[in-house]
Amino acid sequence: MGLDPKLSYYNSQKGEKMTVTYEDVCKAQEKIKGSVMRTPTVKATRLSMHLGIDLYLKLENLQHTSAFKARGALNKLLSLSEDQRKKGVIACSAGNHAQGVAYNAKNLGISSTIVMPKRTPFNKIKRTEDFGAKIILYGEDFDESVGETLRLAKKHKLALIHPFDDDAVIAGQGTLGLEMMEQQPDLDVVVVPIGGGGLIAGVATAVKGIKSEIEVYGAQAENFDAILAKRENRDFIGGQPTIAEGIAVKRPAENNIKVIDKLVDRVFSATEREIECAVYNLLNEEKLVTEGAAGAALAVITKNIQYFKGKKVGMIVCGGNIDSRMLSTLIMRGLIRDGRITRLTFEIDDTPGQLSTISRLIGDSGANVIEVIHQRMMQTVSLKRAELEVVIEARDRHHVDDIIRLLEDEGFSVKASRDV
């Protein structure tokens, strides 16, 4: 029986000693300087106030490709021989690594092929194509795309640019850790999303090379918490859909796991709802468009706030490539949770003037009516009654409570639907 192609992809460096050092990260920083953005580390003023901590954000969503992956991809591409550059490169990615490879390959005059799972968000496919890459959609998820990537690499003699199990890639990702410490040298803890483990391996190597006592915490989606499962000595039963598709990796690289075991102090996970709320809060409070992987970092901080009290916390906003349709739905759901959008349901007498009175009362209270559904035909409503649904825009939940009391005082029976 032949070697499982997936295993050969994940362990492409097997037999070699993968030990990315602090010096490797420093060398990578010199190599890629000027070709990637030195992204800012900024104080998250409103989130710091609400959470009761001192929170700073490393804004990799402002990178050329809207994600940190451009760093590792460039460092790897610069390590290729002239012959490898002429033949071209191939990568397997759900989006951010794809864009990092395609963008930098184009700038270096190297042809690139990217294998992406069929369910990759359209915006990530389009952005990768815009950078000149040839896109091949194959498989239902990252793991299923791996075999095709290896087959094409062998057939066409293309250099494989691994998203997280490669020394040069890991060192490149670690450069953002160097920048973060240069920008905020008194950080006490850094929170890093974990997928395949390349980012946190590089960042942990970098920040602990500068400040050995700094703590490094990992953030995973609960549906893909392979690292946390290992630490808790339980089986990993993951693979359910997640908003954090950038860290939806079933099998992190073994070499990265070794670094995580050595350098990462704690690993936390967050549910889908918690990640969704975190992405919304980053947008609503800090006006930052971020993807689910970045939301996972804020979600675990919010969920485990006791570990962060009294500390200066750095959080890596690893990317901003969120599908626009998903973002619009996420915003509406967030507005509903905040009470700013609420559906009020009435059962009213089917007589003239009822809707007019309700609309006037809502308007006079300072809210806005944005949708009305007037239902007479359903048999759950008596013949001389009507069901009315009114979607309103209010200031917050307290404002909605005031409106409901006003309507009830006027004799209307009303129920509010607030949850999503």
Question: Based on the domain organization, do 4 and 96 belong to the same domain?
Answer: yes
Whether residue 138 sits in one domain with residue 53 = yes
16 pLDDT higher than 60 = no
The model's confidence at residue 239, banded by pLDDT at 50, 70 and 90, is confident
Instruction: Identify which of 257, 347, 318 has the alpha carbon closest to the alpha carbon of residue 99.
Output: 318
pLDDT value at residue 305: 98
Q: Are residues 315 and 367 in the same domain?
A: no
Same domain as 266, residue 203: yes
**Reported pTM:** 0.88
Q: What is the mean pLDDT of residues 51-67?
A: 97
Task: State mean pLDDT over 190-201.
Answer: 97
The domain tally of the chain equals 2
Please give the Cα distance from 55 to 324 (Å, whole number): 27
What is d(CA 51, CA 68) in angstroms, rounded to the nearest whole number? Answer: 26
Q: Sorting pLDDT into bands at 50, 70 and 90, what band is 349?
A: confident
pLDDT exceeds 80 at position 9: no
Give yes or no for residue 377 having a pLDDT over 60: no
Would you say 340 and 396 are in contact if contact means Cβ atoms under 8 Å apart? Answer: yes
Average model confidence (pLDDT) for the chain?
90
Same domain membership, residue 331 and residue 345: no
Among 285, 315, 337, where does a domain finish?
337
Residue 4 has pLDDT above 50, yes or no: no
Q: How confident is the model at residue 161 (pLDDT cuts 50, 70, 90)?
A: very high
Residue 3 has what pLDDT?
30
Label residue 7 by pLDDT band (50, 70, 90). Answer: very low
CATH number at residue 190: 3.40.50.1100
Residue where the block lists tokens 């071209």 = 88
Q: Which of 36-45, 57-66, 236-245 has the lowest mean pLDDT?
A: 236-245
Provide the CATH number for the domain around residue 373: 3.30.70.260
pLDDT of residue 48: 98
User: What does the pLDDT read at residue 15?
Assistant: 42
Stretch 377-392: mean pLDDT, rounded?
71
| 371: containing domain | 341-417
Average pLDDT of span 210-233: 96
Name the pLDDT band for 6 (thresholds 50, 70, 90): very low
Element spanning 377, H or E: none
What would the 3-class secondary structure string for 69-115 be?
Answer: HHHHHHHHHHCCCHHHHHHCEEEECCCHHHHHHHHHHHHHCCCEEEE
| pLDDT at residue 384, as a whole number | 65
Alpha carbon separation from 64 to 60, 103, 364 (Å, rounded): 9, 8, 48
Taking a C-beta distance cutoff of 8 angstroms, is the pair 149, 90 a contact? yes
Instruction: Calculate mean pLDDT across residues 8-29.
Output: 69
Q: Are 367 and 399 in contact (CB under 8 A)?
A: yes
Last residue of a domain, which of 337, 359, 386? 337
What pLDDT is stored for residue 97 in this prediction? 94
How high is the pLDDT of residue 417? 81
Q: Are residues 144 and 285 in the same domain?
A: yes
Per-residue pLDDT, 420: 57
User: Which pLDDT score is estimated for 172?
Assistant: 98
* pLDDT of 5 strictly over 80: no
Do 383 and 291 sit in the same domain of this protein? no
Q: What integer pLDDT is reported at residue 47 of this predicted model?
A: 98
pLDDT of residue 265 exceeding 70: yes
Which of residues 309, 337, 365 is at a domain's end?
337
269 and 291 belong to one structural domain: yes
